[in-house]
Amino acid sequence: MKGIIQLEIWQFLLIYLLLVVVLVVMRVCRVDKTRQLVVASIKMTVQLILAGLILTYIFEHPHPLFVVAYLGAMTGFTIHRVLSKNRDLNPRFQVVTALSIVVAGVFTLVYFVGAVVGENLFNPQYVIPIGGMIMGNTMTGVSLALKTFREALQDQRSKIEALVCVGTSAEDILLPFIKQALETAMLPTLNSMVGMGIVSLPGMMTGQILAGTLPMTSILYQIAIMIAICTVVTCACFGSLYFGSRTLYDPKQQILHLS
């Protein structure tokens, strides 16, 4: 197999012409998101170029501190994004959410790199890209879980108050909402797993094939990373919802507040 074809700058810039198609469609449909599209495209480009420069330096000068610092930055940004969308959560719920993301993410990453791949835990070639995929999906999953959980609590406030009045324990009241939020958060990952290989060739597999890796090797890596992603999303969401929900009531099972 041939190695990956290096793109010249002029070839790379051609991809931005596709955004013109998007802008035309938006204009025809009177979708007022032109500014957001332009800003998002610029931010994406700048952020990825900066990431590329930083990763190039780390790969050329590998050191455990660089790997830990990069992973710490990714994890911190993940937590910030999740909590910034749920500012009205009580402080203890926020702490539980942050800890759930860290514990689930670090455990899954260490297991994947150390046990499955069998590589050094500070090897940036494996740890950083895999950590990025894990944290990116965790951010999406936990954000969706908390959004679903909070919206369900608000919509069912009257029902919850009625159940409290008849003596139902807070844990029994909140458990169905946890279940619903967890199912919702897992759905995108499960749908991706079901359609993978038939509807789509996922990013990790595509990237490895473009780089010249044998398709079967790429497939094994992709299966492994999808199971890892499913695990980390499920564990992080469960930890955030189950243990976070316990901050909503006191030891006597009396609900204190719903956010």
Q: What residues does each domain of the chain span?
A: 1-61, 62-248
Provide the pLDDT for residue 257: 60
Provide the pLDDT for residue 259: 52
Rounded CA-CA distance 128/106 in Å is: 12
Averaged pLDDT score across all residues of the chain: 87
Whether the pLDDT of residue 187 is over 70: the answer is yes
Q: The pTM is what?
A: 0.85
**CA-to-CA dists, residue 97 to 46, 69, 77, 112, angstroms:** 29, 21, 13, 22
Whether the pLDDT of residue 74 is over 90: the answer is yes
pLDDT in tens, 125-142: 889 999 999 999 999 999
Structure letter (DSSP) for residue 5: P
pLDDT in tens, 141-169: 999 999 999 999 888 888 877 887 777 78
Mean pLDDT (whole number) for 5-24: 88
What is the separation, in whole angstroms, between the first and last Cα of the chain?
55
Whether the pLDDT of residue 1 is over 70: the answer is no
- At residue 252 the predicted structure's pLDDT band, cuts being 50, 70 and 90, is low
**CA-to-CA dists, residue 11 to 5, 14, 17, 62, 207, angstroms:** 11, 5, 11, 31, 18
pLDDT in tens, 209-229: 666 667 787 788 888 888 999
